[in-house]
Structure 1
């Protein structure tokens, strides 16, 4: 599974980074970014939780 952030939707709440900091981080500008190209299987559930918890629906999992 691949993770990405929709830059047009992200408002920098940081919920994804709190839930799954191994996959998501905050940029210097205060917005989230995916820091792994491919989400490891052992982090898939937490990445899904991060996506479902994002108040702006900015986390994209493919």
Structure 2
């Protein structure tokens, strides 16, 4: 999947020291991409938006 146009943002839950960060790109049609900020050229996981929203809602309840 081509993620060239992805606008990445760090999770609000990421630590202030810059380590262990997750970045999310939700500006692409039909997909939400997630990657490790320490390896921006590495692999990214992709999810359907509804699946991502369900995941975030579940995590927020914990």
Q: Which structure has the higher relative contact order (CA within 8 Å, separation 6+)?
A: 1
User: Do these two structures clear the TM 0.5 threshold for a shared fold by scoring above it?
Assistant: no
| Greater strand share, structure number | 2
TM-score of the two chains, using structure 1 as the length reference: 0.33
Larger gyration radius, structure 1 or structure 2: 2
If the length of structure 2 is used for normalisation, what is the TM-score?
A: 0.33
Bigger fraction of residues in helix: 1
